Amino acid sequence: MSAKIVVVEDEEDILELIEYNLQKEGYEVIGFLNTKSVEQMLVEEDIDLLIMDRNLPGVEGSEFVQTLRKRGFATPVIYLSAKNADSEIEEGFIRGGDDYITKPFNMKELLLRIKAVLRRTSKKVEEGILSHRDLLLDKSSRTLTVEGKKTDVTKLEFNLLSEFIINKNSVLDRDYLLENVWGDGEEYQYRTVNVAINRLKEKIDPDKTKNYIETVRGVGYKLC
């Protein structure tokens, strides 16, 4: 599958140029002139890479990325910015950037940097890594890390979270979870699912600030 890339750039001609060249390389590209709808896009879609300008209307680009990181989004970020002082570049990395390109930029270099970041991050999937925001599930070692810190979960909780991440864009009802996580829905009750999900939420979000799993009233649960 082609990588899906979000580009945030307030100069329309530069945005169109980047979109055109990325689409020529086979990427699916979604462009924004500001950060207004970007976070919602990251929630709703599987975005592989974010290319972020810094001099934007409203929120400065690196401050926006820093906010995303605090809210648990781990989407790789390449800054593309006219801010080129050493201190500004360092600031970009400190605030959650994975790479930094200064303007004026070379399109060939941008494409090579994109391939490098995608290659580095997509290897995790090949190695059996499931991720969502700052949740990282390693299926080979059956370990979970949250914000880079190992979090102990039971086998059931691990499988439950795996199912949510695999189906991150879908609402999962209790019958589906009973059948696919517990293995035999007829032996268990809906309350079993509710209790397990509440325990899982307590472990991955003890401060109740990130809202990873949302209850969809009358239907089931959805990863956010």
CATH code, domain carrying 145: 1.10.10.10
What's the rounded Cα separation, in Å, for the pair 51 and 119?
16
Residue 189 sits in the same domain as residue 100:
no
Q: Which among 78, 105, 125 is the end of a domain?
A: 125
Q: Which residues of the chain have pLDDT under 70?
A: 1, 122-127, 184-188
The pLDDT score that the predictor gives to residue 100 is 97
Residue 34 sits in the same domain as residue 53:
yes
| Distance between start and end Cα atoms, the chain | 23
The pLDDT score that the predictor gives to residue 52 is 97
For residue 13, what is the domain's CATH number?
3.40.50.2300
The pLDDT score that the predictor gives to residue 74 is 81
State both tokens at 183. 């293995």
138 is in which domain, residue-wise? 129-223
Residue 37 sits in the same domain as residue 118:
yes
The pLDDT score that the predictor gives to residue 184 is 63
Cα–Cα distance list, 176 to 156, 165, 193 (Å): 15, 14, 10
Question: What order do you get walking across the sheet with 149-151 strand by strand?
Answer: 129-132, 135-138, 143-146, 149-151
The pLDDT score that the predictor gives to residue 59 is 93
